[in-house]
Amino acid sequence: MASIILTILISTYPWPIRPFGSALQVSATLGDARESVADPRFHRGIDIPASVGTTVYSIISDTARWDGSGVNTYVRVGNYWCIHLEDRRKGDSLVLGILDTINTPPDTIGKMLDYPNGDHLHFQIGPAGGPFENPLSRNGGPVGYNDTGSPTITIDFWRQGSEGDTAQQLVGVLDGRVDIRACCQDTQTSGGVNNTSGIYKLTWSVDTVGPIQTIIFPQVQPPNNGDSVLLVYDRHNYRTASPFYCWATNRIVNNQVEDRYWNTKQKDNQPDSVDAESLEVARFKDCYYWVLVKAYDIRENFDVAKDKETDRIQDDVSELPSFDDVQKEV
């Protein structure tokens, strides 16, 4: 029992504002869409709502370094960043962190400023220049944080590379290279209810032919600007509101986003970039398939969206054996 308690104690860390040891509300999460289509980026931490003037403390004891300007003034202690502060400590100086105090109060590093569109502390973890870890999963997350609500998703289909151009949404028969878009939202249930994206992993598969493809947000690496963000989020719905529209077929590998697709014309036993020249050698015969997409939150709660679509190997199927004919040949 003692080792279990010790594991709990060392596997979490306190919140940077009082009360340090119980869950606070989280209104935005790592990887959320930020800024605009002209200047897109991933959100690099979490947002903790609290009123202007709230005192902010350091998690650890180390040198506090302040920088930034205006509303983005921040104090960084080690890899912990607290942004949107005023009345910050002047100059670089050693501070006593929450983790190193028992009877004496920790040092103040600043107070929350009056932030447009809602006062909040932006809290992020990572070295200068990144990558930035997810504060809600690092060492089990801050004390008491939990997320018991399951995400909800729906899916639809688009011509690969159409990036949400409404003229290129696909309905009915799918043909060629297809992007799967997932409309996701998750309710953060810890420390109050607040709708954010809160989706950290998407997986998709077609019928049982696998393998399961995955897009995952373990961390974000600056600059994260430009097209890579728009390969994750639909530019036509970029940052309008939750829920967020994610391109499930694309994926992040080593912090690089790859523009992927489901090739319904793929040749069997070949890479998905190779089209089949006839139905006989097609990986996906002319029939119905279930397309499955799973969306996970940070606690691995998930929802499944399932859509039944017809897949065809060629536009003009009259020149090819029908699915029934293939079945008879077998």
The answer to whether the CB of 107 falls within 8 A of the CB of 95 is yes
Helix, strand, or coil here: 266? Answer: strand
Q: Please, which residue, 47 or 303, has the CB nearer to Zn ion?
A: 47
- Nearest approach, Cβ of residue 118 and Zn ion (Å): 11
Q: Please, which residue, 47 or 309, has the CB nearer to Zn ion?
A: 47
- Nearest approach, Cβ of residue 196 and Zn ion (Å): 11
Nearest to 144 by CA among 58, 21, 16, 27: 21
Q: Which amino acid is at 133?
A: E
- Closest residue to Zn ion, Cβ-based? 122
- Nearest approach, Cβ of residue 46 and Zn ion (Å): 7
Backbone angles phi, psi at 272, to 5 degrees: -70, -5
- Nearest approach, Cβ of residue 92 and Zn ion (Å): 24
- Nearest approach, Cβ of residue 28 and Zn ion (Å): 5
Nearest to 304 by CA among 319, 321, 292: 292
Q: Please, which residue, 119 or 175, has the CB nearer to Zn ion?
A: 119
97-100 contacts at long range (C-beta below 8 A, 24 or more positions apart): 97/57, 97/58, 97/59, 97/60, 97/61, 97/62, 98/14, 98/16, 98/20, 98/57, 98/58, 98/59, 98/60, 99/13, 99/14, 99/59, 99/60, 99/61, 100/60, 100/61
Quick one: CA torsion of 262, 156, 287, 278, rounded to 10 degrees? -30
- Nearest approach, Cβ of residue 318 and Zn ion (Å): 56
Count other Cβ atoms within 10 Å, centred on residue 187.
18
Q: Please, which residue, 45 or 151, has the CB nearer to Zn ion?
A: 45
Binding site for Zn ion (CB under 5 A): 47, 122
- Nearest approach, Cβ of residue 230 and Zn ion (Å): 20
Q: What is the DSSP string of 79-132?
A: TEEEESEESPPSSSEEE--GGG-SSSPPPEEEEE---TTS-EEEEEES-TT-PE
- Nearest approach, Cβ of residue 47 and Zn ion (Å): 4
Q: Please, which residue, 7 or 72, has the CB nearer to Zn ion?
A: 72
Q: Please, which residue, 43 or 88, has the CB nearer to Zn ion?
A: 43
CA distances from 85 to 55, 266, 289 (A): 9, 54, 53
Count other Cβ atoms within 10 Å, centred on residue 144.
16
Q: Please, which residue, 122 or 251, has the CB nearer to Zn ion?
A: 122
CA distances from 19 to 115, 139, 188, 214, 241 (A): 21, 19, 19, 37, 30
Q: Please, which residue, 66 or 157, has the CB nearer to Zn ion?
A: 66
Q: Please, which residue, 190 or 203, has the CB nearer to Zn ion?
A: 190
- Nearest approach, Cβ of residue 67 and Zn ion (Å): 16
